[in-house]
Chains A and B, each alone.
Chain A
Amino acid sequence: MTWSDHLVILPILLPLAAGALSILLDGRVRHGPATVNLLSTLGLLAIAWILAWRTLGPGSLADGAQVVRVYLLGDWPSSFGIVLVLDRLSATMLALSATLSVGALVFSLARWHRMGQHFHPLFQFLLMGVNGAFLTGDIFNLFVFFEVMLAASYGLALHGSGKARVKAGMHYIAVNLVASLVLLIGASLVYAAAGTLGMADLAMRAPLLDERSRTLLEMGGAALSVAFLVKAAMWPLGLWLPAAYSTAAAPIAAMFAIMTKVGVYALLRFGWLLSDSRSPDFFNAQWLMIGGLATIAFGALGALASKETPRAAAFLTMVSSGTLLTVISIGDLSLVSAALYYLITSTLAAGALFCLAELAERDLDEKKPAAEDQGELAVPLLEAYGLQEDEPQDEEVGVPVPAVLAVLGIGFLACTLLMAGLPPLSGFIAKFAILRAMFESGHMGRAWIVTAALMLSGFATLAAMTRIGMRLFWSDAERPPPKVRFIEVAPVAMLLLCCVALTAQAGPAMAYLRGVAEGLSAPSSYIEAVRNAPRMREPLAEPPPLGSRTHQEGAAVAPLIVPALAPAASAPSPASALPAPPAALPSAPAAGGAP
């Protein structure tokens, strides 16, 4: 194992260390936390790109072959220990979250990071949770990283405080706490049914389960997918999203654009890992499509109805989430690559839109009375918790941009084109690729439904954005141009230029994503890589082959393990003490009862 093999864990360790360090530096070193945060985020970007490069197979970009890198934590064998798995899909998602976070962070450095406490540590912990969720190889750690991500996002959603944020934040926290509990139910049901929490292990055992355990497994899967769909904001489960995203501070809302995609990622991952033979069909089923269509409709209507730009942007995030759910529900290989292209485009565009909205609405906001926001009780309590509402001070950071309305207008136009899926930008290519793949895959009936949904939602998006654009840029001729600095325009331009680059290089990008989809659709490479992950040190006792430890054979297998354990038990090494539980106990819920 060379140093470069440890790169896999760095997307988790680096933000953890940077977050902890910036807590220590807070208040001691001027600009300390901001510097640490920026360096760590840039480092993550570099690492994500290196990792994406290293997962490529020996062939061309479009080659489905992939190098799956497995990182055994503490060098436990993969069937017992915790593993991180990096394949092309997770590497792509890591690169996307790193790119978005650089944009959001640079934007926040102009003034938003001073609006409350601990912005920088929370930002790093959010990144840690997101990266961990993309990398983890088992269900329970998926829960843990979801919690890390959500706990940081609770803090960030309230960043800057204020009545609206606290109210929306409270709803957001309550809904997501319940969703986490549902995720726990799902994880424990899966464990009860299959006797494992590892995704690769589960994918291998699922087809071999008997009827009783299968029912349990499918219930567990249903609970898991409900939890993922809350994160992905499917229609009845995603009503928390518009309020939470539209009240959050702009760079934070931009960062949140990746969080709905974490839910979509989990659905994709489980759906394809369990896609073999008799595996349950709970992650890509008919109802997922219905839910996705409902989400599109709800998001489009909401965008039409909303007056403020951030609120419209939040609803547009729901539209993109619904589109993704609809598309992945069909479960066709070419659709997955188109969906991933759409995912990347819509995430970057949503991030840019949240930032632009704040820039363009900046001095419109100041006309609103701010004083009524705080009740009488507010002041002492808020000071006690460090929650007082800091209106950002208008001190100069960087140089104001000339012709600011023109710059903002061009950015807004680009966002509109991307969101509505109009040519020439990558939003159009994404929707075109989706529709083409739909019609080529032969699901004619569903293809027409999806076509109608995409066209109508694109039309609604265009109408909503046009109306907002007219209000922002044309309604008030005497309006003084907002004070905007280069440091705020640059990240928005960076995100939009990424979309332009995706448009210009659509061929290679689609080829790469096709390779990602092929890697995803051949779960055997993932499963084999996790099973055969080499350990640094030779094990003292070789665990028996996994295939023999299925649920039905639980009772028969127990004696098989005993000889393997016996020499280990006398050895002092702790490494040999663990390998018992998952093998012997799956039958416990069924057989092991009290008298």
Chain B
Amino acid sequence: MEIVIAIAIGILTASGIWLILRPRSFQVIIGLSLLSYAINLFIFSMGGIKVGSPPLLDPSQTDLTIYADPVPQALVLTAIVIGFATTALFLVVLLASRGLTGGDHVDGREDR
């Protein structure tokens, strides 16, 4: 299980980093999205990976070892919301840049 998550995070991060280094603003935004998915998975896995265990307290269960850690799950929700909002904001800037320069190069012009 850990190895699957680790490989998934690795692939997402690698693709994300490759994409944000590309010269097209669309590639950059996709790269940022992939990177934020990778980070979200990473935060999630930092609480320890447990299969089939609830994050919420059940009054009849007093053994705390059966629960999954709820804190990373709360963190990841916040991170998703914030990442979503900032990506949307970046998209607006991207469109404005497209409108102003007529191209989608991140520097506003091609290197010739």
| Residues in A lying within 8 Å of B, measured CB to CB | 140, 144, 147, 150-151, 154-155, 158, 161-163, 166-167, 169-171, 173-174, 177-178, 180-181, 184-185, 187-189, 191-192, 197, 373-378, 381-382, 385, 387, 558, 561-562, 565-566, 569-570, 577, 580-585, 588-589, 591-594
Contact = CB atoms under 8 A, between A and B. Distances in A.
Given A376-B102, A581-B70, 16 more contacts: A147-B82, A147-B86, A150-B86, A154-B93, A180-B86, A184-B43, A188-B46, A375-B102, A382-B96, A385-B92, A385-B99, A558-B63, A581-B69, A584-B65, A585-B67, A593-B48
B33 to A, nearest CB: 10
Interface in B40-81: 42-43, 46-51, 57, 59, 62-65, 67, 69-72, 75, 78-79
A192 B69 CA distance: 11
Contacts of A382: 96, 99-100
B51 A594 contact: yes
Contacts of B8: none
A169 B25 CA distance: 13
B42 A387 contact: no
A177 B100 contact: no
Interface of B: 1-2, 20, 25, 28, 32, 35-36, 39, 42-43, 46-51, 57, 59, 62-65, 67, 69-72, 75, 78-79, 82, 85-87, 89-90, 92-102, 106-108
A95 to B, nearest CB: 28
Nearest to B76: A188
Contacts of A177: 32, 86-87, 90
A542 to B, nearest CB: 17
Given A381-B96, A584-B67, A140 B46 contact: no
Closest 8 CB pairs of A and B: A588-B48, A381-B99, A594-B1, A592-B48, A585-B69, A192-B46, A584-B64, A188-B46
A167 B97 contact: yes
Contact of B20 (A174, A387, A592): A174
A166 B62 contact: no
A387 B43 CA distance: 37
A577 B39 CA distance: 29
Given A188-B43, A189-B46, A592-B48, A151 B100 contact: no
Contact of B36 (A181, A189, A375, A565): A181
Given A173-B89, A584-B67, A188 B99 contact: no
Given A147-B82, A593-B2, A191 B100 contact: no
A580 to B, nearest CB: 6
Contact of A569 (B62, B100, B106): B62
Nearest to A591: B48
B14 to A, nearest CB: 14
